Homo-oligomer: A and B are copies of this chain.
Amino acid sequence: MKLTKRGEYALRALIGLGIARESGAPIVRIRDLAEKENIPVKFLEAILIELKTAGFLESKRGKQGGYSLAKPADRISIGDVIRKIEGPLAPIACVSQTCYERCSCPDEAHCGLRMVMLEVRNAVARILDAYTLKQTVDAMMRKMREDSVSIPFLSGTEARDSKPLGELAPK
């Protein structure tokens, strides 16, 4: 029942890039993203390449380069990301929709464990497939606004042509 660091970092990176996009500065350097999200740079590098290969991100080399979302944030579901990075959502392969595999129990059709785990997998999938990156980012920003916290989409480096969201009340 566990999300690995790899998966956690992947999702936090995507969310970070979602915020960056929303903020009008969609392209972010690995280094900046790593610093902002407290993720080891080299580890993040590998994860971003994986996310790019999976079609979630695109990259630009050279000066002013970096990573950005490859598609609108409302077309990326958390569930799909986790499936790509971590594998199936199901806690046990015999209830997986995407990666079914028979297990060692003597009678799958009447396995009590399977019945329970099927409910779990459905509940998890219902949540994670419903949540898009956009919804997640929006919920985050809403909460920050409620608490009057400034949105630090590109804090750290002042450089780059970033336009801070005007309507936010700082402090």
List, in ascending order, chain B residues with CB within 8 A of A136's CB: 112-113, 115-116
In the complex, whether A11 has a CB less than 8 A from a CB of chain B is yes
User: Is A152 among interface residues, defined by CB-CB distance under 8 A?
Assistant: yes
Contact indicator B1/A90 (Cβ below 8 Å): yes
Known contacts A105-B38, A123-B123, A127-B123: does B143 contact A110 (CB below 8 Å)? yes
Answer yes or no: A29 CB below 8 A from chain B CBs: no
- Smallest Cβ-Cβ distance to A39: which chain B residue: B104
Q: Is the CB of B86 within 8 A of A1?
A: yes
In A101-126, the 8 Å CB interface with B consists of 103-107, 109-113, 115-117, 119-120, 123-124, 126
- Given known A-B contacts A82-B1, A106-B38, A110-B149, A116 and B131 have beta carbons under 8 A apart: yes
Residues of B within 8 A of A28 (CB): none
Residues in B whose Cβ lies below 8 Å from that of A88: 1
Residue in contact with A15 in the complex, picked from B82, B92, B112, CB distance below 8 Å: B112
Interface assignment of A158: CB less than 8 Å from any CB of chain B: no
Bound Cα distance from A123 to B88, whole angstroms: 17
Residue of B nearest to A138 (CB): B112
C-alpha gap A115/B142 in the complex (Å):
12
Tell me if B1 and A110 are in contact (CB < 8 A).
no
Taken together as a complex, chains A and B put the C-alpha atoms of A127 and B152 apart, in Å, by 37
Interface 1/0s, chain A 24-55, versus B by CB < 8 A? 00000000000011110000000000000000
List 9 A–B pairs whose Cβ atoms lie within 8 Å, in order of A's numbering: A2-B2, A3-B92, A8-B92, A11-B113, A78-B116, A110-B140, A110-B143, A115-B140, A123-B123
